[in-house]
Structure 1
Amino acid sequence: MRHQKQMSNLPISNLPISLSPIEIIRPDAPRGPFRRALFDFDGTVSLIRQGWPEVMVAAMLDILRRDLPSNGTDMAHFCADLVARTTGQPILAQMTCLADEIARRGGTPGDPRAYKQHYLARLRQNIQHRLTALEQNPRRADSLLVPGVVDFLAALQSRGIPCDLLSGTDRADVVAEARLLGVDRFFEAIYGPEDGTPGFSKQQAIDHILHQNGLAGPELVAFGDGPVETANVAAVGGLAVGVASNEAERQGIDAGKRRRLIRSGAHLIIPDFRAWAALLEFLGLNS
């Protein structure tokens, strides 16, 4: 069952669930009661790093040209597929996957930590102007947030639903960028890999959140635009809401994200949080 009709004379935030842009993928979606909410950061809350997949593909191509002899493979397609498959994993894990592939294909892989630094240097060139603009004028934060997310976070907070952030981006960067965007106040905890410390996984963080807060899986709702957190939350019985955000346009659905999220087990698909009131209704939190 899918609900995608809209009414032009009714604000989207006030649309009932039957008329909202919420797409119900799985009729077995948990319906709560929900006691805690979990959010991915990049592409779900923040748009500061919009364009990072393309930057990572370019960085990987740099590395492949150096460390892997030409073998006729379409390297651009290979890198894009690798990035898509590993979205949501820690950056170091993504670069370890790249090193493993280089070795498997007969190349001589370098240190994944050096690969990570090469990518981050490229990324900083791409996003530094956004960070500088935010530091100089915090009012610009709205244009670097997924639409509706602040209203939705505020609504959850007012209803006593604690929220956490979980990201594959280094935790120190998430903390700094959440503060710049003014959304750090909504989150009780921020989980992410510590720079230089291997072994972080979203699954372990989710298990920790459930255990620490005495939650059963179906009492957790999670919002994310990557396949990792989507699959992890669905696996523990939580409600996995896929945020198929079109980051460049700040409206509409990214078809590639939608496909990957559905394949990973998303119960619902949303483009953003503009229909936050309908989301609250679905979650049983509209009163």
Structure 2
Amino acid sequence: MNGISEKRQLEILHPDRLPGGKIRAAIFDFDGTFSTLRCGWEKVMRPLMLESISGGPASEASEALQREVDDYIDASTGIQTVYQMRWLAQRVEAACRGVPGRDEWWYKDEYNRRLMEQVGARLARLERGEDRPEDYLIAGAAAFLQALQAHGVEVYLASGTDHGDVLREAAALGVADRFTAIKGAPERQAACSKEAVLRMILDEKGLPGGELLLVGDGKVEIALGAECGAFTLGAATDEEARHGVNPVKRERLIRAGADAVTGDFADLPALLGWLGFP
């Protein structure tokens, strides 16, 4: 449990600010919060960045560059991939290692190519029935989703991953039809899909922030939810084990201002109790 006991999995950080059973809509992040199909993406992005900036093998990059890249990946977790690749393209140019034609979209395509070597294999096993959806879902995620819907909450799925990929992965996990709507990043567009979903719910549905719940493992979405007055549940997930608390994520989410933090969704009574649902 990485030094954090099961009893502390749900931590209510702002006991003076509780949902009180008023949540009418919820937005879930996908990768790392709900799904672990893309577990290990950092291990793909890191060497790409180090190789591109240094011009040599990732293992030979300076300690200073390694720290810079690690800090950036940590700080940018949760944003749309193309923005991370825009940073990379700018950093490559600053290092005087730019190559004609290698813009943010080129780096995004290369990152996706590398990432899909492992994600594609997982998807193929799922779609052939060799693996089960439970093998790639955070513990209790599907049951928590169902419980929210049973209490009349409309649940949306938002992701910085390309929209088509999110649809395929949600379908492979058997949850695509359980959401009111699924929104991934638009193809070849730099647009914040999570913010777009938030604005749609707040503006088009006319919901005040106090009736909205945002669930995510990245500080970007937690900060965005807090900014609009929504209640935020930080998912400090251990993506390899699919249960328990990741202490690095936990600290990140606490700093981002989460109202509560959990390692997974297995303790439904505690989660529903915090939300104020009987």
Q: Secondary structure at the match of 2:258?
A: coil
What amino acid is the match of 1:134? L
Aligned to 1:140: 132
- TM-score normalised to structure 1 length: 0.87
TM-superposed CA distance for 1:277, in Å, is 2.1
Q: Which secondary structure does the structure 2 equivalent of 1:245 belong to?
A: coil
2:54 matched residue in structure 1: 65
CA distance in 1, matches of 2:154, 2:67: 40
1:88: Cα distance to partner?
0.9
Q: What's 1:100 paired with?
A: 90
- The 5 Å alignment of 1:251-270 reads 251-270=243-262
Tell me the secondary structure at the aligned position of residue 206 of structure 2: coil
Q: Is the contact between residue 241 and residue 268 of structure 1 (CA under 8 Å) also seen in structure 2?
A: yes
When structure 1 is superposed on structure 2, of 84-93 and 133-142 the one drifting more is: 133-142
CA offsets 1:175-233 (integer angstroms, 9 cap, x no match): 11001101112211112211101233533331122112210011101110011110000
- Structure 2 length normalisation: TM-score? 0.90
- Is the 2:9–2:245 Cα contact (8 Å) retained in structure 1? no
Report the 3-state secondary structure (helix = DSSP H, G, I; strand = E; otherwise coil) of the residue aligned with 1:74.
Answer: helix
What is the CA-CA distance between 1:84 and the residue it aligns to?
A: 1.1
Ranges in structure 1 where 5+ consecutive residues have no aligned partner = 7-18
User: 1:57, 1:91 → 2: CA distance?
Assistant: 13
Rate the CA distance shift 1:214–1:64 in 2: closer, same or farther, 3 A: same
Q: CA deviation at 1:85?
A: 0.9
Residue identity matched to 1:38 = I
User: Structure 2: 5+ residue runs without aligned partners?
Assistant: none
Matched, 1:235 2:227: yes
Note if contact 1:38-1:223 (Cα within 8 Å) is conserved in structure 2: yes
Aligned-CA RMSD value: 2.1
Q: Distance in 1 between matches of 2:157 and 2:61?
A: 41
Distance (Å, rounded) in 1 between the aligned partners of 2:203 and 2:39: 33
How many residue pairs get aligned? The number is 269
2:112 maps to 1:120: yes
Partner SS state of residue 192, structure 1: strand
Opposite residue 83 of structure 2, the aligned amino acid is A
1:74 correspondence with 2:69: no
State the alpha-carbon separation in 2 of the partners of residues 36 and 201 from structure 1.
17
Matched residue SS, 1:207? helix
